[in-house]
Structure 1
Amino acid sequence: MKALIVGSNGQLGHALQAQAPQGVELVCADVDQLDITQPQAVTDWVERVRPNILFNAAAYTAVDRAEQDEVTALAINGTAVGTLAQAAHQVGAQFVHVSTDFVFDGASGTPYRPDAPTNPLSAYGRTKLVGEQLAGDEAIIVRTAWVYAPVGGNFVRTMLRLMAERPEVRVVADQIGTPTYAPALADALWRLAAANVQGIHHYTDSGAASWYDFAVAIQEEALAAGLLDQQAKIVPIATADFPTPAHRPSYSVLDKTSTFSAIGGPALHWREHLRQMIARIKTNG
């Protein structure tokens, strides 16, 4: 079994490598090795590697910057996905693509099912939706949300830095979703690939939280673990008090029922995974 991981240097790319089943041969490519917006380069890479599975963990994730640079975001999140899917199809490889909760508008009062109508509010969400459409019916498409890991830029690492530097941190309290630990997401992707369940799936940790709830939990766990030596005041604010170029869904909890069934059980609660990450950071620095 050979797997090609595109976007291998990101937090999910690292996790996919770490969670790979025993005996799988990994071939990794990041932007320095492969520009996925160049169709011939993608075709040549995939033809040369001839993987059994192609994971696309590459994405344009600068949500606010995408509002002014939708052309670039579309090239990476949309058009390139179609190129990767076609290249995978040509060599008979399974294509696994990662998408986002931002394809929804947040108007639902209940968790979004995989077949729920989409209505992205931002350029980022629109370009990721195009990627889903171009991935094709034979792909495994997994929507996720609020991904974090010990490496890379993410909310947990940012909060830990700000809490160590500042006496007060202001955090949005009226956007509700679910944090997702990258190693758990990677494990789910490998399991979905093994089950070969084509179509759209949802995966996050279990539970739900606001960004404010998440920040409070980060500080509590970090203080308990001795990772922080001072307590910052965490102030809940409204989205309107922290305007951003991109509109974000106010509620983007995903229904994972069918995914949990396919992979053999539910994910751990997001707080348990957060505790694991804090312990890992403390151990590894």
Structure 2
Amino acid sequence: MRIVITGASGQLGSELNELLANETEKECYFLDRKQLPLDQMLLIQDILAMYQPDLIIHAGAYTAVDKAEEEPALADLVNHLACEEIAQYCHLHGTKLIAISTDYVFDGGSAVPLTEDAPTAPINVYGRTKLAGENAIQKWCSEAIIIRTSWVYSSYGKNFVKTMCRLMAERDEVNVINDQIGSPTYAKDLARAILKIVDAANWEAGIYHYSNEGEISWYDFAVAIRDFHSFDCQVKPIPMSAYPTPAQRPKYSLLDKSKIKAVYDVVVPEWKESLSKMLAEEIKKY
């Protein structure tokens, strides 16, 4: 099987690269923004045609949530129109597609875990462009699989966990939001779930949700990071209203994972277990 993975230098792309490093039955091509510029619509299908993939794992995206408010056109190019080009290529060439989306397609008004058919109503540019990408994929490539995820972190790239480790090592006190609820996703776990789908005998198109198990706030997440490393740093809970950002965030975006568990028998680790594994791996590296 020949696979093209976009977003090669991102958190998920890096974890997929690590997991597929010794793969002999899959011919994998990892494309970063230089090799596949997702803001260049006229190039995307021609570049994909050079590789003639059987499957595309589309992990590339514009993910700077606050900056997207200043660059809505660029965010739309990367998160929406590039998805359309990729989906059109897949439709024309019979290529399978797994695309990554986000919990930010929801408005945060729910009080129960969000299923795949819950109403979408994004409240920021990033969420609107990602939802437009989802719609374009479903329009052009009805056989695609879309996986929504949330609060992604990894030992690769920039993310909340690594930022907290740095700040807690430097400061006596950090303020962290305690009224935004969801669940983090260890990118390695998500990568494993994707590969389980790739290797499955069945291919069930549609939208799926994936994050680690549990329901927490960013404050709870930060406390667990502090406790793992025994940082001498006070973590102070603050409301979202005390930390205004250019882009609004959904207050509640916990994803229901029942569908991906049932269809693909995916085992979803608990968030604290995965955090411990990532932090232990980080320690080994340095």
- What TM bracket, shorter-length normalisation? over 0.9
Distance in 2 of aligned mates of 1:39 and 1:51:
19
Stretch moving more, 61-70 or 233-242 = 61-70
Give the residue type in structure 2 aligned to 1:243: P
Where do 1:133-152 residues align within 5 Å?
A: 133-136=135-138, 137-152=142-157
2:248 alignment counterpart: 247
1:262 Cα shift?
A: 2.3
Tell me how many residue pairs correspond in the alignment.
279
Q: Confirm whether residue 218 of structure 1 aligns to residue 225 of structure 2.
A: yes
Give the residue type in structure 1 aligned to 2:224: A
Distance in 2 of aligned mates of 1:66 and 1:178:
23
Asked if the contact 2:41–2:81 (Cα under 8 Å) also holds between the matched residues in 1, the reply is no
Distance in 2 of aligned mates of 1:159 and 1:30:
27
Deviations 1:224-244 (A, max 9, x none): xxxxxx410000000000001
Deviations 1:64-113 (A, max 9, x none): 11112111101100111010111122222111110000000111110000
Where do 1:254-265 residues align within 5 Å?
A: 254-265=255-266
1:258 Cα shift?
A: 0.8
Distance in 1 of aligned mates of 2:266 and 2:87:
28
Asked if the contact 1:148–1:181 (Cα under 8 Å) also holds between the matched residues in 2, the reply is yes
Deviations 1:166-215 (A, max 9, x none): 11000000000100000110111122233422110000011111000000
Stretch moving more, 192-201 or 95-104 = 192-201
Give the residue type in structure 1 aligned to 2:16: L
1:19 Cα shift?
A: 2.5
Structure 1 segments of 4+ aligned residues over 4 angstroms from their partners: none
Give the residue type in structure 2 aligned to 1:139: A
Asked if the contact 1:94–1:193 (Cα under 8 Å) also holds between the matched residues in 2, the reply is no
1:2 alignment counterpart: 2
Q: Confirm whether residue 231 of structure 1 aligns to residue 265 of structure 2.
A: no
Where do 1:1-285 residues align within 5 Å?
A: 1-20=1-20, 22-136=24-138, 137-195=142-200, 196-223=203-230, 230-285=231-286
Give the residue type in structure 1 aligned to 2:227: E
Distance in 2 of aligned mates of 1:16 and 1:197:
21
Asked if the contact 2:211–2:255 (Cα under 8 Å) also holds between the matched residues in 1, the reply is yes
TM-score, length basis structure 2? 0.95
Q: SS of the counterpart of 1:90?
A: helix
Distance in 1 of aligned mates of 2:18 and 2:262:
23
Distance in 1 of aligned mates of 2:242 and 2:58:
35
Distance in 1 of aligned mates of 2:72 and 2:117:
26
Q: SS of the counterpart of 2:49?
A: helix
Give the residue type in structure 2 aligned to 1:14: S
Unpaired segments of 5 or more residues in structure 1?
A: 224-229
TM-score, length basis structure 1? 0.95
Distance in 2 of aligned mates of 1:263 and 1:175:
29
1:22 Cα shift?
A: 4.8
